């Protein structure tokens, strides 16, 4: 599935490159980025709450979601950042969601997508992104290093996603300062919190850490906190919650 998503992304990127200069200009006209690293490093277990309309594994989750209203509810519950899926084909996301969320909340907004080309960085910054996700499994080390340099050039920050200890090693070697460990297997889409627990000891001190996917309860949040993660990223469970504000507050409290 990852290969299919990346192929679709590269097709979109090929068309996007023609607008690179315009995107760079547009990126200079939006408010400066907010620091994701600072938000995640605040005391307590941070929660990055996600705007997620659908996924290949879960299907339709909330196609009619009011993205800015949902993001505001998350922030009221104590979310330290908002993740917005912008991949349109497989996840039903959009940059319009990202811009609307960025305008609605005072916390950093992470563009969660499949970034393979520097033009996507400028596209995200022009839409208001404060940070972007880079996925080790989708890039070789030289591509990852080049994209990290590109992120710095835009003024944004990057959360680098790993699924194994070897991928963490790659991320850290090229200078990642925020590492997210994804508990979801990209081949089978199964989740197991033991993945992040087992990888945590291999992440060096000084790197900001995020446990991604699979946290749907206070027990899961407590496990990630006990493993030493600075924050968790919660998507589907937050979107499906009947009371997103209370749900985020409960997750934060579970990490104390």
Q: Is the pLDDT of residue 125 over 80?
A: yes
pLDDT single digits (tens) 17-51: 999 999 999 999 999 999 999 999 999 999 999 99
Domain boundaries, the chain: 2-254
Tell me the pLDDT band of 189, cut-offs 50, 70 and 90. Answer: confident
Q: Give pTM, 2 decimals.
A: 0.96
Tell me the pLDDT band of 62, cut-offs 50, 70 and 90. Answer: confident
197-220 average pLDDT score = 94
Task: Please identify which residue in the block is written with the tokens 């504000």.
Answer: 245
* Contacts of residue 152, Cβ cutoff 8 Å, sequence gap at least 6: none
User: What's the CA gap between 40 and 47, in Å, rounded?
Assistant: 8
CATH number 3.40.50.300 given to 2-254: no
Where b means 16+ CB within 10 Å and e means fewer, 116-140 reads bbbbbbbbbbbbbbbbbbbbbebbe
Residues in the chain: 256
Residues designated as active site: 50, 52, 112, 161, 182, 212-213
Tell me the pLDDT band of 163, cut-offs 50, 70 and 90. Answer: very high
């Amino acid at each position: 599935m990852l290969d299919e998503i990346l192929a679709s992304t590269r097709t979109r990127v090929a068309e996007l490159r023609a607008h690179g200069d315009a995107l760079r200009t547009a990126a200079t006209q939006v408010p400066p980025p907010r620091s994701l690293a600072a938000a995640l490093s605040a005391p307590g277990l941070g929660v990055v709450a996600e705007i997620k309309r659908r996924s290949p594994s879960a299907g339709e989750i909330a196609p009619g979601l009011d993205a800015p209203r949902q993001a505001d509810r998350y922030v009221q519950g104590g979310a330290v950042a908002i993740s917005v899926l912008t991949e349109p084909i497989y996840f039903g996301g959009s940059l319009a969601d990202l811009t609307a969320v960025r305008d609605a909340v005072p916390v950093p907004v992470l563009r969660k997508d499949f970034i393979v080309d520097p033009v996507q960085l400028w596209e995200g910054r022009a839409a208001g992104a404060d940070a972007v996700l880079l996925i080790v499994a989708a890039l070789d080390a030289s591509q990852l290093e080049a994209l990290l340099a590109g992120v710095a050039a835009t003024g944004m920050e990057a959360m680098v996603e790993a699924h194994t200890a070897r991928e963490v090693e790659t991320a850290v070697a090229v200078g990642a300062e925020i590492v997210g460990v994804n508990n979801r297997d990209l081949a089978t889409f199964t989740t197991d919190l033991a993945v992040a627990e087992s990888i945590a000891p291999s992440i060096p001190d000084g790197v900001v850490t995020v446990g991604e996917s699979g946290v749907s309860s206070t027990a899961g949040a407590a496990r990630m906190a006990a493993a030493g993660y600075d924050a968790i990223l919660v998507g589907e469970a937050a979107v499906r919650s009947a009371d997103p504000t209370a749900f985020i507050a409960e997750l934060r409290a579970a990490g104390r």
